[in-house]
Structure 1
Amino acid sequence: MPSSSKTNRRILLASRPNGAPTAENFRTEDATIPALSKGQVLLRVLYLSLDPYMRGRMSAARSYARPVEVGDLMEGGTVAEVVLSRHQDFEPGDVVLSHSGWQSYAVSDGGDLRKLDPSQAPVTTALGVLGMPGFTAYSGLLTIGQPKPGETVVVAAASGAVGSVVGQIAKIKGARVVGIAGGPDKCAFVRDELGFDAVVDHHAQDFEAQLAAVCPDGIDVYFENVGGKVWDAVFPLVNEFARIPVCGLIAQYNHAGDSFPGPDRLPPLMRAILSKSLLVRGFIQREFVDQRPAFYHDVAEWIASGRLRYREDFVDGLDNAPNAFIGLLEGRNFGKLIVRVAGT
């Protein structure tokens, strides 16, 4: 049993949100750390990834994955250390990628674990640029977007964990890249640190006009992370044969119910899909699992050569995860949001 703690701190779903999540939708408990059976390992969670998809898991609405039930542990990707092992492939001190959720300790049979080598890259990158967000960007852009040299690629949430990688890969592939971000600091980062060709602040009063001005030849690929008013500004600018990978719709996640205010946009959308021969393709990164070896190779090489940069935004303490997650949905994070659950 770990000497520093006799209990497992856990954060559960207390109730389903009606609109934006609040602190009352979460409940914290201290549970007993279970004993190990043969073939299991005890993990101490070091880092917890916070990602927009978690909002969907809090809802009972039909989706691509089973929702978290009220009273159950909030789910999430983690980096953890093996502290006890009864599994032949793992020993204490191993650092692994796991899906242990919002808790300080977890028991695993090893089937969901991937060993990490801290000497090769910071282990937190397994939750970001070299993990699910990075792979989402890589597979969605290259498989669906298929950017070509000289084309204009626009990416929403361009300073975030997915959008920042999308734009940089598009640049590597020879495209002209326009980012959309929120606020002057994020826009400066996208332009000056990530090297996008242009960036537009979606908070600007003349956002639509600014976007049109930096896309004089229209948009060939739009990587959708946001929806809402960003989609409304982008869609009139898409060219014939444009490709639109739909990764996320964060502007709509907190909307209560199945109906949305405003006019019915479906008829003009369908007309444009037909008349412009558009490809609009939703995707979940696990569909492209066969591409992961190429992803690990390519992205590690691009990071090592300085062609791909990343930013991480840390929050200290598991108890602060709910407020940090609420802030994520409001755009308050700056880079890949990670909770430091335990010291390293």
Structure 2
Amino acid sequence: MRPVAWLSPLLYGAVLLAGGYAGLAGLGETRFGWFVGGLVALVVLDLAEPRYARPVPFLVVRAALVVLVAASDGSGMARVLLLLLPFGAYFAFGRVVAVVLGVGCVGLVVVAFGVTAPGWTHDVERVSDLLMFAVGLVLTLAMAAVAVEEQRGRVRLAELSAAAERNRLARDVHDGLGHHLTAVSVLLEKASAFRELDPSVADQALDDARESARRALEDVRRSVRALREPFRLSSALAELAQGLKVDVECAGDENGYDPAVLLAVYRAAQEGITNALRHADARTVSVRVHCGRSGAELVVADDGRGFSAAEEGFGLSGMRERVAAVGGAVDVRSAPGQGTRLTVRVPR
């Protein structure tokens, strides 16, 4: 199927009107049987071509039908159908074959003029017809080139979208399930190590592991809900902080924000909270979100042990990529023993 699907029916209609008028008005000799039959066969060929991927036979049959219609047309308008040959060849075989075929079509018109109108080179009307045909050929090839590039652009866009979706899923796995499952694994190892030394510690580790598993399940359910219903940042943050020593405050209006933007803010908050509680041993963690008219700002602050810039891991790198994907920026300020302040700004 050619991207410019309307071109062939448009030319068929114009040729049918011109040839029919010429024949009925006595302006030219139109053999209606061959003329109409050839046009109908071209339409049938267009309808059948997408089902059978055999470009060479279809091109040969199309060329024969176009010559048949042109030979039985009294108006001479059917010559324009020759433009469909290099046009279709551009999509099936490429630019070089289309240009060569277009030059051949010009040569065919010149031969036809030589047979039907000897001395046509001295006829201004015939020369003008040839020049107009050549101009039409150039425009047709240009249209085919634009359509092919547009088609390639769509393919590249689809590939980029697929790659972006794969990266998003990878970040979701790390930011969500990855943290919870890591915690479950560590807590189970702790329970196993303290089973004989201190059963109470082992029991507490098992309880914490169950809680982390529950949170992992909740995270999966939240992701599924986000696919089925509108994502609400304030609700998601409230659920995330439930049962944790985290103070959450949401201000502004998140309506009108792209769900991808809100999800990026949520994942950034999740990463900041996880790092503060699990890695920084923070006693207090505050999360502040403000959704304004031009953009949203997230601030996650803790009083943990902090870290140096050289210690930044995959989690923060993935956060920066996610936020950058929605046009935002991440600022992390921390130092050993001075806590951490994570600021995320994204445009609306």
With normalisation by structure 1, the TM-score equals 0.23
Query: Larger Cα Rg: Structure 1 or Structure 2?
Result: 2
Between the two structures, name the one with larger relative contact order (CA 8 Å, sep ≥ 6): 1
With normalisation by structure 2, the TM-score equals 0.23
Select the structure that is richer in helix.
Answer: 2
